[in-house]
Amino acid sequence: MRGDTMKRRSGWLGGLLLLSAAVAWLLWPKPAQPLRASMVAPAAPVAADTAGFTRIEGPRPLTFPTDHGPHNDTQTEWWYYTGNLTAESGEHFGYQLTFFRRALEAPDQRVQRASAWGADQVYMAHFALTDVAGGRHHSTERFARGAAGLAGAQAAPYRVWLDDWSVSEEPDGRIVLRASAEDPASDLDLGLNLSLVDRKGPVLQGDRGYSRKGPEPGNASIYYSQPRIDTTGTITVGGKTFTVDGLSWMDHEFSTSALGPELAGWDWFSLQLSDGSEVMLYALRRTDGSRDSFSSGTRIASDGSTWSLAPDAFDIQPTGEWRSPRTGGVYPAGWTVTVPSADLRLTVTPYLADQEMQTSLPYWEGAARVSGTRAGQPITGHGYVELTGYARSLQGQF
């Protein structure tokens, strides 16, 4: 649910990890073949049930920095970084660097393995750049077992990594994001090296971080955000490096949950406004197209004060659509967002219509510009939007 993400991502991205891990297992090389770190996965099937995993059934105390780290007693977890950055020369970029953890075995089924390759967790990561001036959205993915140093997460010092993609805490408290890859669709080299300084978070979403995604017991996550992170560094596209600055947003969520059979997908928004406030919204979509009653949102004031938003406390109306030439998925392309309690009316416009992620299961996630009014006064901003279930049904994917 990148809100509550339901997650937004709980069931579906859990399914994405299951699918990728299973495929990797089937393609596991014979001992005589070389192992590539970006392709290894556990040499055991992935458990699809939730028995033995911790289910989120209510609020729980969060302690930082401990809870920045992994929660291996739950089945699924993700660390999501997105941002809008502007180069000194004026070019605008959006970026996404996200890490997902999926447990292969419940805690009471785990055994100590003699081999350094033995793993009970698998990791996946997505790296994407939106080059507005170049008119292209680039995306790539990797996965690896959580063993032999290939991938993992830790709280102190805070670090999440997969191969050479990483989020790491520096001695001075800064968070540094590093990633480089080649976009398989364009053959262009991509890179980012960003320094992040949190100015507001963490902000607990839902009920003190308890984010319900449905009526069933345990169909929920623990979810918090860092909604305003000053960001500086460099972006590289096609051999050209740009010095950039702007704002990032981070979501961290963990759960043992699934997308209910009545849900088709979700629309998630993280909006950073020019008056120092933010809005997070997610609309869970039912199979008949209506909004589910467990949709939710949060208003965040410039001083960090928060107000939870029930489904009837905000409205999201699409203003256009875009059809993917690759998947045939028809996505909304522009929205009017209203939050009456804040006298807020916003127009959210994608920087590029095509920001579809070319990953194992396609979805749309991209940078957007924001304009509108608060109490009749002009307001601007930037944001990120995630759209799932449009290119392919999420049902049966986990």
CATH of the domain at 296: 2.40.370.10
Distance between CA atoms of residues 31 and 164, nearest Å: 24
393 found inside a domain: no
4 found inside a domain: no
Tell me the residue type at 126.
H
2 found inside a domain: no
3 found inside a domain: no
| Residue that has been written with the tokens 């009456």 in this structure | 340
pTM of this prediction?
Answer: 0.88
Q: Is 340 helix (H, G, I), strand (E, B) or coil?
A: helix
174 found inside a domain: yes
Distance between CA atoms of residues 109 and 270, nearest Å: 38
**Mean pLDDT on 282-293:** 90
| Paired tokens of 15 | 């399914």
Domain that holds residue 79: 10-387
pLDDT of residue 118: 82
Question: Does residue 175 have a pLDDT over 60?
Answer: yes
Q: Provide the pLDDT confidence category of residue 109 given band limits of 50, 70 and 90.
A: confident
φ, ψ (nearest 5 deg) of residue 316: -125, 115
pLDDT in tens, 339-352: 999 999 999 999 99
pLDDT in tens, 40-63: 223 233 334 778 889 999 999 999
Provide the β-strand partners of residue 173.
none
pLDDT in tens, 325-343: 999 999 999 999 999 999 9
**Beta-strand relationship, 356-357 and 363-374:** antiparallel
Question: Does residue 282 have a pLDDT over 70?
Answer: yes
Report the number of distinct structural domains present in the chain.
Answer: 1
396 found inside a domain: no
Tell me the residue type at 180.
S
pLDDT of residue 31: 30
178 found inside a domain: yes
